């Protein structure tokens, strides 16, 4: 039993040495990413923060920073209580680019005591995307990165 543990330990040390995990010189690290890509989450940090800020007035149903998905709960404006909206934002890239954010808005109106799907103005999603992009650019600029 003692010999098999010793043999296992020797093989483990040899395997670790082959992987470079037992010390010695360090391998060179990869080049640092461009500022627009620096993120501890799965998507562009500026777009993520801007999307959260833009939708901060709505209750959140799902927030997944690794997948880049934000989904709000339904929200009714107190001035228009028979109408409610829900917004989904998807961050598609680690780069701060115009095509890296997608917004989908759902709208419902109350008819006969039930919520029924209704059309959303064609420009609504585009306007929200533009607001998020501008906030993301402002955040990057304010952070001192061009």
- Per-residue pLDDT of the chain in tens (146 residues, 90 and over written 9): 444 444 334 343 333 333 333 344 343 333 333 344 545 678 999 999 999 999 999 999 999 999 999 999 999 999 999 999 999 999 999 999 999 999 999 999 999 999 999 999 989 999 999 999 999 999 999 988 55
| Residue 70 to residue 88: CA distance in whole angstroms | 6
Q: Which of 66, 32, 61 is nearest to 48 (CA)?
A: 66
pTM greater than the 0.75 cutoff = no
Which run of H or E residues covers position 102?
A: strand 101-111
Question: Helix 45-54 crosses helix 122-142 at what angle (to 10 degrees)?
Answer: 120
Helices (H), 80-121: none
């Amino acid at each position: 039993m003692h010999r098999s543990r010793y043999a296992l330990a020797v093989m483990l040390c040899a395997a670790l040495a082959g992987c470079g995990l037992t010390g010695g010189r360090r391998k060179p690290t990869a080049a640092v990413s461009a500022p627009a890509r620096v993120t501890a989450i799965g998507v562009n940090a500026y777009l993520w923060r801007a999307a959260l800020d833009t939708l901060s007035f709505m209750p959140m149903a799902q927030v997944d920073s690794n997948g880049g998905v934000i989904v709000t709960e339904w929200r009714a404006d107190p001035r228009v209580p028979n109408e409610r909206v829900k917004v989904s934002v998807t961050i598609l890239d680690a780069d701060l680019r115009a095509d890296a954010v997608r917004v989908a808005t759902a709208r419902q109106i109350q008819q006969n005591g039930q919520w029924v799907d209704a059309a959303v103005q064609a420009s609504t999603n585009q306007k929200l995307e533009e607001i998020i992009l501008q906030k993301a650019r402002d955040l990057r600029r304010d952070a001192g990165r061009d």
